[in-house]
Chains A and B, each alone.
Chain A
Amino acid sequence: MKEVKLLGAWPSTFCYRIIWALKLKGVEYEYVEEDLFNKSDLLLRYNPVHKKIPVLIHGGKPIAESTVILEYIEEAWPQNPLLSSDPYERAMARFWTKFAEDKNPTFFAYFQAVGEEQEKVTKEAKEVLKIIEEQGLGEKKFFGGDKVGMADLAFGWIAGWLEYMEEAVGVKLLEPNTFPLLQAWIKNFRDVPVIKENLPDGKKLSVYFKGLREKFIAQATV
């Protein structure tokens, strides 16, 4: 059996997508924590194009970009599939996975912005969440239907990271009594045993986001 290694960083939502996929499929792997301020030779060698985590190394062959890695994992280990066998359903899952990727800047902007800009991006971020809830999730238990699929992993940051981002920014995106379907999904997603057992430590995330937010505020007021 070929060796599986994952280069990651503990606060990274992208890294967790891979951890979840591997664990949902029962794949044994070695995890290597990267210091993103002091990138290892291993990382620079295995992802020379982007120099970013996560990187999956399977039998010595590296794969970068979390959505590409997810597709690879799905094909290399077909048990407990993350995608339906129906081409149309697969395409819908890919559409929403791509949507999650393409909207990263919106949520990054929400986390980074201050003042009037903050209000504007908060409004945009809520509009995106509305599309995710109404068009992506709908009445389904998971984006993948009855069980967790690729799109759920792509949106996983909403279930494990968003509350700490909201705390640091001081502005909520998911206010109580709003986005009922999405809030129900968060509970369902966090209840999945593999997910429950594999979420970053809340206290650590809280400190991490508060520190990051302070940096952004400092930069904005220079």
Chain B
Amino acid sequence: MAGDSVKLLGFWASPFTARVHWALKLKVVKYEYFEEDFRNKSTLLLQSNPVYEKVPVLVHNGKPLAESLVILEYIDETWKQNPILPQDPYERALARFWAKFVEDKCVPEIISVFTKRGEEKEKAARDARENLKILESALGEKRFFGGETMGFVDIVAGWIGYWGRISEEVAGVNLIDAATIPLLNAWFEHVLEVPIIRECLPPREKLLEHSKNVYEIATAGST
């Protein structure tokens, strides 16, 4: 839409920011990206997301929105090309169910692998593996959760194939086992092969370095 102002406030290493990049790019929406520095949060961020003061934040024609899943639904409703959610209400409900499953049952475990140590870390990794196995049951033989092309769940969970493998290396755990979750493993590759996705992934070495730093800081306080 001509004259539209679309801004994305984000953090280069954040998979939540990546979700919004992916949605905007898949819909071919023009936007300006602003990198946020957490030690020095911009006025725009603090004004746009006073509740959480976190990224990503989408600002469309001056109106701010926070929370990546909320932003994805907004993007889908505002720009109708290349739909992210299916048309059928029941299929939409399934997509939302699995997106929520990823948020509630996979994300915290993958984060815990980074912030916990010892038995707690091992348990988080076990839970993550179990929940990824459950997620796989929703994929079945499909190329993407969205069918032939990427959809809501693909955007919400696809980052795990890239960030998750880096977490495995840094934290010394197993999250993605090709033998246990062969279909999900293949799906990760399908997502990362999509040119738009591949082109906007943060460089691996840079992300690995950053993740190592985060891991050291996160676990320094634990005994």
Contacts and interface: CB of A to CB of B under 8 A. Distances in A.
Interface of A: 49, 58, 61, 63-65, 67-69, 71-72, 75-76, 87-88, 90-92, 94-95, 98-99, 131, 135
B51 A131 contact: yes
B78 interface: yes
B83 to A, nearest CB: 14
B90 A72 contact: yes
12 contacts: A63-B90, A63-B93, A68-B96, A69-B93, A71-B96, A72-B92, A91-B71, A92-B65, A95-B66, A98-B70, A99-B51, A135-B51
Contact of A49 (B51, B71, B78, B134): B134
Contact of B93 (A72, A88, A92, A99): A72
Most buried by B among A76, A87, A131: A87
Secondary structure call for the A interface? helix
Nearest to B97: A68
Contacts of B221: none
Interface string B53-64: 000000010010
B74 A87 contact: yes
Given A71-B93, A87-B78, A94-B69, 8 more contacts: A58-B90, A61-B90, A65-B100, A75-B92, A76-B89, A90-B73, A92-B65, A95-B70
A49 B73 CA distance: 24
A72 B100 CA distance: 14
B98 to A, nearest CB: 9
A88 B74 contact: yes
Contacts of A49: 101, 134
B77 A63 contact: no
Contacts of A58: 90
B96 to A, nearest CB: 5
A44 B66 CA distance: 35
B73 A72 contact: no
Nearest to A88: B63
B199 to A, nearest CB: 27
Interface of B: 50-51, 60, 63, 65-67, 69-71, 73-74, 77-78, 89-90, 92-93, 96-97, 100-101, 134
A45 to B, nearest CB: 15
Contact of A95 (B63, B67, B89, B92): B67
Question: Which 7 residue pairs across A and B have the least CB separation, nearest first?
Answer: A75-B89, A91-B74, A72-B93, A87-B77, A68-B96, A94-B70, A63-B93
A95 B73 CA distance: 11
A69 B89 CA distance: 10
Given A49-B134, A63-B93, A94-B70, A68 B51 contact: no
Contacts of B90: 58, 61, 63, 72
A63 B51 contact: no
Nearest to A71: B96
B69 A98 contact: yes
Contact of B73 (A76, A91, A99, A131): A91
Nearest to A135: B51
Contacts of B92: 71-72, 75
B93 A68 contact: yes
Contacts of B60: 88
Given A63-B90, A135-B50, A68 B70 contact: no
B172 to A, nearest CB: 29
Given A63-B90, A98-B70, A135-B50, A91 B65 contact: yes
B67 A68 contact: no
A103 B134 CA distance: 25
Nearest to A92: B65
